[in-house]
C-alpha cells in the first residue's frame, strides 16, 4: 500500500539542528531581514506593554494594493489564514490543486472537510486549465506561483475559476518574488468569492516573526475575523508589515525579484549539464523543481556533502524522484553543482 504524502512536512525540517548545512530547502531569501527592517522592528519593542493595534499596518497593506482597509486581514503568517478559511468558509466540495503547498489541505482536513485533489501533470508542465476543476467545487485552492513547481499561471486562467457560489483561494505567498508581480490577482475586486493570500516572510526573512495577510471581500474578511483569536499579530510583526509596504521597501523587493530571476536562470543553466536531471520549466518562483533517478538517495548524499534540499515526495502528485531547490547566489549554485556532480559520478 502506498504511503500517503506527509502534508505536515516542510522545508525547515531538512535543516533543523544542522547549522553547518547550506540551505537550499527553505525558500526564504538569504541576507534577510535587511538592517533597516531590523531597526524598525527593534524600535517597536518599546511598545510591547500595549496591546497590538493593527490599524496602521492594515491601512498600509490596503494602500499597497489600492484597496480599502475593509478588504484586508492581517494574520500570523499565511499559514494561519489557511486555518481561518478552513474554519470559516462553508464548503461541501473543497478542491485543492496539486502539487502545491500542503498546508491548505491539511487545514481543511483538520477542520473536518473531505478534500478532493486535482493533480496537475508533468506532461502538461504542471499547467492549470480551468476545465480540470470540477464544476461543483465550491472552494478551490491554487498557488501562484505554485510551490513547489515554480509555475506561474496566467492571471486570466486563475480568474476563470471564480464564479458565484464558489470561494477561490489563490496563494500568492511568492508573488513578490516575481518581477512586476506579473499575473497577480491581489488588487482585483471584480471576481466573486476571490481570496488572495500573501506572505511577508519569504522576501523579507520574517519566518520567525509570522506575518502575512488576506485580501478578500468585506464579508469574507468579517467571517475570518470572527474565528481569529484576539490580537493574533504581534506589535513587531505589525511594524514589519507596515514597513514592508512602503515605497522604498517595494522598490527593494522589485530589485530582489530581478536578482532572483537572474540567479534562477543561472541555476537552471548549470543543471542543464546533467543529462539525468529534468527541470520543471518555465520556472517563475525563487525555487526550481527537478526530477532525477533515486532522488531520495541523492538528497541524503548531498546532505553528507553539506547541502540541504527539499524532498518532493511529500507533495501530492509528485514522487520520490523529485527535489526542490531554493534559488541562491551564483557562488552557492556553483558549489552545489560541484557536489551534485560528485554524487552523480559516484552513482554512475
Instruction: Per-residue pLDDT tens, the chain, 348 aa: give them.
Output: 567 899 999 999 998 888 899 999 999 999 999 999 999 999 999 999 999 999 999 999 999 999 999 999 999 999 999 999 999 999 999 999 999 999 999 999 999 999 999 999 999 999 999 999 999 999 999 999 999 999 999 999 999 999 999 999 999 999 999 999 999 999 999 999 999 999 999 999 999 999 999 999 999 999 999 999 999 999 999 999 999 999 999 999 999 999 999 999 999 999 999 999 999 999 999 999 999 999 999 999 999 999 999 999 999 999 999 999 999 999 999 999 999 999 999 998
79 to 9, 173, 250, 313: CA distances (angstroms): 13, 10, 23, 21
Q: Identify whether the C-beta of residue 116 lies closer than 8 Å to the C-beta of residue 93.
A: yes
CA distance 142 to 197: 10
Alpha carbons 193 and 211: distance in angstroms, whole number: 23
Amino acid at each position: 500500500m502506498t504511503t500517503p504524502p506527509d502534508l505536515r512536512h516542510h522545508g525547515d525540517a531538512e535543516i533543523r539542528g544542522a547549522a553547518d548545512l547550506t540551505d537550499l530547502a527553505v525558500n526564504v531569501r538569504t541576507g534577510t531581514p535587511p538592517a533597516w527592517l531590523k531597526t524598525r522592528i527593534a524600535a517597536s519593542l518599546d511598545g510591547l506593554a500595549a496591546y497590538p493595534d493593527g490599524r496602521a499596518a492594515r491601512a498600509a497593506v490596503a494602500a499597497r494594493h489600492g484597496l480599502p482597509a475593509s478588504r484586508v486581514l492581517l494574520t500570523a503568517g499565511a499559514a494561519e489564514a489557511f486555518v481561518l478559511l478552513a474554519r470559516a468558509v462553508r464548503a461541501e466540495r473543497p478542491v485543492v490543486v496539486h502539487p502545491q503547498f500542503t498546508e491548505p489541505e491539511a487545514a481543511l482536513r483538520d477542520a473536518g472537510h473531505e478534500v478532493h485533489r486535482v493533480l496537475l501533470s508533468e506532461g502538461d508542465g504542471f499547467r492549470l486549465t480551468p476545465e480540470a476543476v470540477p464544476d461543483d467545487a465550491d472552494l478551490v485552492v491554487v498557488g501562484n506561483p505554485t510551490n513547489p513547481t515554480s509555475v506561474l499561471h496566467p492571471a486570466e486562467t486563475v480568474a476563470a475559476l471564480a464564479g458565484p457560489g464558489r470561494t477561490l483561494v489563490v496563494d500568492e505567498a511568492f508573488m513578490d518574488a516575481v518581477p512586476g508581480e506579473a499575473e497577480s490577482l491581489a488588487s482585483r475586486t471584480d471576481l466573486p468569492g476571490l481570496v488572495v493570500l500573501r506572505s511577508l516572510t519569504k522576501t523579507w526573512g520574517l519566518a520567525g516573526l509570522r506575518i502575512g495577510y488576506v485580501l478578500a471581500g468585506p464579508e469574507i474578511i468579517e467571517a475570518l475575523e470572527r474565528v481569529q483569536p484576539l490580537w493574533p499579530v504581534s506589535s513587531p510583526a505589525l511594524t514589519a508589515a507596515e514597513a514592508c509596504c512602503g515605497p522604498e521597501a517595494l522598490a527593494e523587493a522589485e530589485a530582489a525579484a530581478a536578482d532572483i530571476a537572474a540567479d534562477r536562470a543561472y541555476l537552471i543553466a548549470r543543471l542543464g549539464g546533467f543529462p539525468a536531471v529534468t527541470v520543471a520549466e518555465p520556472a517563475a518562483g525563487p525555487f526550481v523543481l527537478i526530477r532525477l533517478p533515486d532522488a531520495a538517495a541523492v538528497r541524503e548524499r548531498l546532505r553528507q556533502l553539506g547541502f540541504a534540499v527539499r524532498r518532493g515526495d511529500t507533495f501530492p502528485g509528485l514522487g520520490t524522484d523529485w527535489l526542490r531547490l531554493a534559488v541562491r547566489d551564483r557562488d552557492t549554485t556553483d558549489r552545489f553543482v560541484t557536489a551534485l556532480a560528485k554524487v552523480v559520478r559516484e552513482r554512475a
